[in-house]
Amino acid sequence: MGMDTDGLLWRHLTTLPAFRALLRAVEATFYQGLPWPRPILDVGCGDGHFAAHAFAEPLDVGLDPWWAPLREARVWSGHRLLIAADGAHIPFASERFGSAVSNSVLEHIPHVDAVLREVHRVLRPGAPFGVTVPNHRFTRYLSLARGLERIGLTRVADAYRRAFNRISRHVRTDPPEVWQARFERAGFHVRQRRDYFSPTALALLEWGHAYGLPSWLLKQGTGRWLVTSARWNVAWLHRWLRRYVRHPEHPQGAYTFFLLERR
């Protein structure tokens, strides 16, 4: 299931706005070269774009509670089967799956502990579970908030951080230690914990939301993020951003990848 990092960035840049493509391409690198025994469960598959572009072959089951993104996921064909269901009530027998992934999903779920217990139930003993989540540095290192703090506008900075979290639909951005304790309570062993997405990369993501507005408007009208998926259209972006994908880890990273193992 491995892909080269430049290829991952091309696949995302030619189908997504640049700020989202950067984050997803970086996240995709962590799943490469690891064994994912089948059948594979994708918890919170959303529109299916990530699975279709991060893995060389379709995942077995994509699970999401919302119909609209699942309809779009059918177009990307990143899953062999799509199921509309809450992650706390997975409609499969215990120990059904050989592995699972959940990419930038758990931070959006209020009842995350119930979801983790349910994923534990449907995984076989020893099964790997790959997870990415934002951590406490996500809001701490927002560039505009840090700039406001430097000129003494601490309350405005805090308000901006809260607003950006709302825009991102985050329920929580906990430190990696808190996430790890949560996973362990649910019955998982943490095999890897890797922080990624530097403060500079986070600033690109932050400001990219504003520059990505034309892409959002295009998506509403045509169903496509970009006017053309030709490489020449994003070649300059690829040259600029590939350093972040080639070297994704950072000690002050705003996100954390966990490779868990079902005990």
Q: Please name each of the domains of the chain with its CATH number.
A: 5-134+171-262 (3.40.50.150)
d(CA 107, CA 137): 14
Answer whether 235's CB lies under 8 Å from 173's CB. Answer: no
Q: Omega of the bond prior to 125 within 30 degrees of 0, cis?
A: no
Per-residue pLDDT band at 2 (split at 50, 70, 90): very low
Q: Could you tell me where the beta strands, DSSP code E, fall in 97-253?
A: 99-103, 128-134, 188-196
pLDDT on residue 216: 65
Token digits of residue 170: 């985050």
Handedness of CA 70, 75, 79, 80 (dihedral sign): positive
DSSP H helices, 130-196, are 137-140, 143-150, 154-167, 176-185
| 97 secondary structure, DSSP code | B
Label residue 174 left, alpha or beta by phi (over 0 means left) and psi (-120 to 50 means alpha).
beta
Answer whether 89's CB lies under 8 Å from 155's CB. Answer: no
pLDDT on residue 209: 77
Instruction: Supply the pTM of this predicted model.
Output: 0.93
Q: Which residue has the tokens 């060389």?
A: 56
d(CA 204, CA 201): 5
Q: What is the pLDDT of residues 149-165, one digit of tens each?
A: 999 999 999 999 999 99
Answer whether 76's CB lies under 8 Å from 101's CB. Answer: no
d(CA 69, CA 28): 20
d(CA 35, CA 77): 21
Average pLDDT, the chain: 94
Q: What is the pLDDT of residues 17-67, one digit of tens each?
A: 999 999 999 999 999 999 999 999 999 999 999 999 999 999 999 999 999
Per-residue pLDDT band at 1 (split at 50, 70, 90): very low
Q: What is the mean pLDDT of residues 102-109?
A: 98
Instruction: For helices 235-246 and 5-13, give the axis angle rounded to 10 degrees.
Output: 140
First-to-last C-alpha distance (Å) of the chain: 24
Handedness of CA 43, 49, 53, 58 (dihedral sign): positive
Task: List 101's β-bridge partners, or say none.
Answer: 42, 130
